[in-house]
A and B are shown apart, each in its own frame.
Chain A
């Protein structure tokens, strides 16, 4: 048994649901930390969040203490911080005030960049709408192709047009895969809504719109354009790429191990 790795017990402020419960679960599952009432046989009792100390009264643990600090909604935030040995904060601005350590909670892997591309129009046996491109686009895992509600699903054409307006608003871009067109009308509608249009400018009247251009019928060129189009999303997402639950648990474990050694040394000095 490695004596430098502290035994941590989490004292929760609340039970099921929402983010505090999730934080407790992840630390418990990844780090094997126990959860429950104060454990004086543990090395550190970790209050998540700091409100959990509200229940203590005079029964403050005999162990070292840690707490998760969200935000100062009442003076208790600062009062508890003064008594706690290891202060873990969600936000840097508060960590700076209470001499805490910032460890942001994890983000689930389901939250990744996607391009929501709308396709509006009918299919034709001739294939002039470029249906084969839509089939091939299934290869790109960051692309979601969505279609508007069918006209038959609405009470009237006016109601359908209104739903189309809402549909355009949900898109990252309208995609036109057509090989041959007079218009197409949806490209103008999306433009009217301020939504970008990814389309071959050589088709129909698309040269008169400010489209994100690719070579007509060319899947490779369409992929190049889509990858460039989605790039800002990936750049933005990279800011939080390390904010996983695994990292959260590892960082907590690392912090607690480091701080525990310091706290034990400090206590030994005081005892001497």
Chain B
């Protein structure tokens, strides 16, 4: 009782508890390479592994599956909205048979056949090649990317005049699966510059149940990321933060 009173008194005087939290640094989890996981999935599965990649870009740059799939027995379904890179994507996988490439964007609702895709100008990408992957259905996304990288630009470089708008084909997740004539995939990879939750949810709602999912979360709004985590958890996925992306592995237990 005496101990509690001293604690109480100290708390009232200082506002803080007596014991300090242990001064330790968080334990870092073992690094996971998504490509390794895909390679393992390919190795253990007897039949061909189906992989659906939304936002495939050129198939190589910043690509988490290229090394694992380029010389493996897989069926690839690659979706990329930016028509400028489709030929490069085709070239990347020209040596493989089971590859379907579609130039389209995945949208939430079946309301339109075409949507506007914002992308940086060829001139800007010529100077900063990493900007090539920043095409998005949201102009705001490009604005944010420009602001984040402002320190790299000269004073004369402005966003105005450096954004190009394309009209591209729009498909819902359901329409895409119908067009590809598939009902499920083993691996789903999503990198859609901020539209990742919309795309992921579209496929989950369409009944897709991939064993492995990798989606980019770094451009998601907090409540969208929360919704993604809640949904995947409810579907018995084990989740892991891989810095910019989230890995979801279907639990077999």
A78 contacts across to B, CB distance below 8 A? 229, 233, 239
User: Once the chains bind, are B19 and A72 in contact (CB under 8 Å)?
Assistant: no
Encode contact with A along B211-225: 1 for CB under 8 Å, 0 otherwise: 000000000001001
Residue of A35, A37, A76 near B18 (CB, 8 A) is: A35
Could you mark each residue 1-32 of chain B with 1 if its beta carbon is under 8 Å from any beta carbon of chain A, else 0?
00110011001000111111110111100000
- A224 close to B (CB within 8 Å): no
A25 touches B11 (CB 8 A): yes
Q: How far is the CA of A28 from the CA of B238 in the complex (A)?
A: 34
Q: Are B26 and A29 in contact (CB under 8 A)?
A: no
A74 in contact with B241 (CB, 8 Å): yes
- Shortest B18–chain A CB gap in Å is 7
Contacts of B16 in A (CB 8 A): 15-17, 21, 25
- Asked if A77 CB lies within 8 Å of chain B CBs, one says yes
**A75-B239, A75-B246 in contact; A13/B21 too (CB < 8 A)?**
yes
Q: Does B154 contact A (CB under 8 A)?
A: no
* B17 touching A21, Cβ below 8 Å: yes
Are A73 and B27 in contact (CB-based, < 8 A)? no
- Closest residue of chain B to A81 (Cβ to Cβ) is B233
**Which of B22, B225, B226, B229 meets A37, CB within 8 Å?**
B22
B150 is an interface residue with CB less than 8 A from chain A: no
The reply to whether A32 and B4 contact each other, CB–CB distance below 8 Å, is: yes
8 A Cβ contacts from A38-86 to B: 52, 54-57, 71-79
Closest chain A residue to B242, Cβ basis: A75
- A54 B27 Cβ-Cβ under 8 A: yes
Query: Which of A24, A25, A55 has its CB near the most chain B CB atoms (within 10 A)?
Result: A25
Size category of the binding interface on chain A:
20 to 34
Taking a contact as CB atoms under 8 Å apart, the answer to whether B4 and A29 are in contact is yes
Nearest chain B CB to A33's CB is how many angstroms away?
A: 10
Closest to B246 in A: A75
CB-based contact A15/B21 at 8 Å: yes
Given A29-B7, A78-B239, A97-B234, A73:B222 Cβ within 8 A: yes
Cβ-defined contact, A72 with B226, below 8 A: yes
Q: Do the beta carbons of B240 and A75 come within 8 Å of each other?
A: yes
How far does the Cβ of A7 sit from chain B's closest Cβ, in whole Å?
Answer: 13
The answer to the question of B230 belonging to the interface, with a C-beta cut-off of 8 Å to chain A, is yes
Residue A34 lies at the interface, judged by CB distance under 8 Å to chain B: yes
Nearest Cβ on chain A to B212's Cβ, whole angstroms: 14
Shortest distance in angstroms between A249's beta carbon and chain B's nearest beta carbon? 12
A36, CB-defined interface residue at 8 Å: yes
Of residues 91 through 127 on chain B, the ones whose CB sits less than 8 Å from some CB of chain A are none
- In this assembly, does A12 line the interface, its C-beta being within 8 Å of a C-beta of chain B? yes
Q: A221 to chain B: which residues have CB within 8 Å?
A: none
Distance between B215 CB and nearest chain A CB, rounded to angstroms: 12
Q: Closest chain A residue to B248 by CB distance?
A: A75
**A15 engages B7 (CB within 8 Å):** no
**Cβ–Cβ contact A25 & B222, under 8 A:** no
Whether B238 pairs with A79 at a CB distance below 8 angstroms is yes
> What residue of chain B has the Cβ atom nearest to residue A71's Cβ?
B226
* A258 in contact (CB, < 8 A): no
Q: Does A162 contact B (CB under 8 A)?
A: no
In the complex, which residues of chain B have a beta carbon less than 8 angstroms from the beta carbon of A17? Answer: 16
* CB of A95, distance to nearest CB on chain B (Å): 12
Distance in angstroms from A37 CB to nearest chain B CB is: 4
Query: What's the minimum C-beta distance from A172 to chain B, rounded to whole angstroms?
Result: 31
Q: How far is the CA of A79 from the CA of B241 in the complex (A)?
A: 11
A12 lies within 8 A of B222 (CB): no
Most buried by A among B8, B18, B19, B234: B19
Q: Which residues of A contact B229 (CB under 8 A)?
A: 72, 74-75, 77-78
The answer to whether A15 touches B20 (Cβ under 8 A) is: yes
Residue of A nearest to B12 (CB): A29
Is A14's beta carbon under 8 Å from chain B? Answer: yes
Assuming A25-B15, A36-B22, what are 19 further A-B pairs, CB within 8 angstroms?
A: A14-B21, A25-B11, A28-B7, A28-B11, A29-B7, A29-B11, A36-B20, A54-B27, A55-B22, A55-B26, A55-B27, A57-B27, A74-B241, A75-B229, A75-B240, A76-B241, A78-B229, A79-B238, A97-B233
Chain B contacts to A: CB under 8 angstroms: 3-4, 7-8, 11, 15-22, 24-27, 222, 225-226, 229-230, 233-234, 238-241, 246
Some 7 contacts from A to B, beta carbons below 8 A apart, are A21-B17, A29-B7, A36-B22, A37-B22, A72-B230, A73-B225, A79-B238
